[in-house]
Amino acid sequence: MHNVETFRDLQREATEWRRYLHENPELDYQVHNTARFVTEKLASFGINHIETGIAETGIVALIQGEGGEGPTIGLRADMDALPILEASNKPWSSKIPGKMHACGHDGHTAMLLGAAKYLAGTRKFKGSVALIFQPAEEGALGGLRMVQEGIMDRFNISQVFGMHNAPGMEVGKFGIRHGPMLASLDEFDLIVKGRGGHAAKPNETIDPVVIAAQIIMGLQTIVSRKANPIESLVISVTKLKAADAFNIIPDEVEMTGTVRTHEPSLRDFAETHILSVAQGIARGFGGDAELDYRRHDPVTFNHMEETTLAIKAARNLVGSAAVDDNIKPRMGSEDFAYMLEARPGAFIFLGNGPTAGVHHPAYDFNDEALPFGIGYWVNLVETTLAT
């Protein structure tokens, strides 16, 4: 087992990679240059089993250990950036206005490359490691597509692990928990139907704006009065479209919103109750409501055995006091959740120090965190695939 000092030389190299990736951000599935950079680096480490073009620009590379037969475990990094104009004022700021690595996926990619270089050079493990570099984590389901294109079966992956940097957590610290880590993400559209007319004659209309206002308040009672208070549920209405003029009562109001929870059964629960509350209120006023409910990321759920392995790997790197193994779950979401639905595994947070939050224009991945992320991956492999 290694402490972080083992990875100081790699830190210097990984910092160069990270800053190059930061200067050259790419979005969604269009991470062509990033994927080419990753592929070239992997080949230069002597890794000869590299498959590209999975989910358009995703990569899976295999490193075989020298410790004999054993299972294959998957380590995943994401490669995509965000459509944000950077304001970090760093010398390595984005060269592409309107695109930036505001979620630290540049750091995630650099850390997995660092671990790949170390593991390909030492190979002190049994079985194999599958390095998974995915595109399109930010809302375009790259993780799901890689699963759908069969990477788990094709590479015989038995367990998967993911990592995300966490601004506000000290560099050198890790946070994880058994069970739900991040929430599911669903989206809904509600159409509230009334009968439009002149705003001066509301008595001749069925005003869907007033009905929508009641529905918005009513939806909050699903959380406060219907759901079990011990279980977490968020329902937010975030977008409203009514008439285009001040003196018109529209026929319809369109509402959009999102549902987040750590309890998978609450997704069905939310769908059922959003529809019944909206229809009940709308019909009471002579109107009606239609719901379109769409499920996106599942709950990011950490499995028992793999979470214990992740905690052990992190503790061996930084000591027990620097690993919080019972952090509070968060309401954000991650498309790594699809990989955790396909195989047991664990997702861990890595301290990024007092930087701006992710998705903020002033955010920057903290290069001091690189050797901790690299060391975690290496320890995890040497723990899970111990010879």
Residues that bind Zn ion (CB under 5 A): 103
Query: Strand 252-261 and strand 72-78: pairing?
Result: unpaired
Q: How far is the CB of 347 from Zn ion (least distance, A)?
A: 11
Nearer to Zn ion by Cβ, of 47 and 103: the residue is: 103
Nearer to Zn ion by Cβ, of 333 and 384: the residue is: 333
Nearer to Zn ion by Cβ, of 103 and 311: the residue is: 103
Nearer to Zn ion by Cβ, of 14 and 103: the residue is: 103
- The angle subtended at Cα 233 by Cα 103 and Cα 279, nearest 5°, is 120
Q: How far is the CB of 77 from Zn ion (least distance, A)?
A: 10
The conformation of residue 100, written as its DSSP 8-state character, comes to B
Nearer to Zn ion by Cβ, of 10 and 103: the residue is: 103
Name the nearest CA neighbour of 355 among 343, 371, 368. Answer: 368
CA atoms within 13 A on the CB side of 102: 21
Q: Could you tell me if 176 and 346 are in contact, meaning their C-beta atoms sit under 8 angstroms apart?
A: yes
Query: Strand 157-166 and strand 72-78: pairing?
Result: parallel
Q: How far is the CB of 167 from Zn ion (least distance, A)?
A: 11
- DSSP letters for 112-167: HHHHHHHHHHH--SSSEEEEEEES--SSS-HHHHHHHTTHHHHTTEEEEEEEEEET
Q: How far is the CB of 346 from Zn ion (least distance, A)?
A: 17
Q: How far is the CB of 84 from Zn ion (least distance, A)?
A: 10
Indicate the helix (H) or strand (E) that contains 74.
strand 72-78
Q: Measured between alpha carbons, how far is 19 from 365 in angstroms, rounded to an integer?
A: 9
Nearer to Zn ion by Cβ, of 103 and 116: the residue is: 103
Q: How far is the CB of 265 from Zn ion (least distance, A)?
A: 26
Q: Measured between alpha carbons, how far is 54 from 49 in angstroms, rounded to an integer?
A: 14
Nearer to Zn ion by Cβ, of 103 and 163: the residue is: 103
Nearer to Zn ion by Cβ, of 103 and 191: the residue is: 103
What residue is closest to Zn ion based on CB? 103
Name the nearest CA neighbour of 34 among 75, 81, 82, 102. Answer: 81
Q: Could you tell me the two tokens for 111?
A: 């850390």
